[in-house]
Amino acid sequence: MTTKRWKPREILVHRKVQDDPITQRIVRACGGRWVRKITQARKGTQVTGVKSGLRNDIVAKSWVLKQEKGFLGMILAGKRVMYVGPAGGVLDTFKLKHRRLVCPQFDRLKLSENGCYYACEWCYLRLTYRTAHPYMTVRAQYDEIKKQIERKLKKSGHDIMFNSGELADSLSFDHITQAGKFFIPFFGQTTNGYLFMLTKSANVDHLLRLPHNQHTIMAWSVNAPGVSKKFEIGAPPFRERIEAARRAQKAGYRIRIRLDPIIPVKNWKSLYRETVQNIFKRVAPERITLGTLRFEKAFCAMQETILSPGHGLQDYMKDMEPMFERDNDGSVGKHSFGRQRRIDMFSFVMKEIRRHSDCPIALCKEEPDVWNAVGLDISDCRCVCQLDSADCRFSV
Is residue 124 in some structural domain? no
Query: Does the pTM exceed 0.85?
Result: yes
Is residue 279 in some structural domain? yes
Domains in the chain: how many in total? 1
Work out the angle between the directed axes of helices 268-282 and 238-250 (0-180°, nearest 10).
30
Is residue 264 in some structural domain? yes
Is residue 65 in some structural domain? no
Is residue 1 in some structural domain? no
Q: How confident is the model at residue 380 (pLDDT cuts 50, 70, 90)?
A: very high
Is residue 254 in some structural domain? yes
Check whether 190 has a pLDDT greater than 90. yes
Check whether 307 has a pLDDT greater than 70. no
CATH no. for residue 223? 3.80.30.30
Q: How confident is the model at residue 12 (pLDDT cuts 50, 70, 90)?
A: very high
Determine the longest span between alpha carbons in the chain, in angstroms.
61
**Among the ranges given (88-102, 212-226, 348-362), the one the predictor scored with the smallest mean pLDDT:** 88-102
Is residue 56 in some structural domain? no
In this prediction, residue 325 carries a pLDDT of: 85
Contact 359, 286 (CB under 8 A): yes
In this prediction, residue 1 carries a pLDDT of: 40
What is the per-residue pLDDT across 282-297, written as a single tens digit (0 to 9) for each?
999 999 999 999 988 7
- Residues contacting residue 295 through CB under 8 Å, at least 6 positions apart: 122, 124, 303, 317, 320, 334, 335, 336
Is residue 239 in some structural domain? yes
Range of the domain at 183: 87-108+140-380
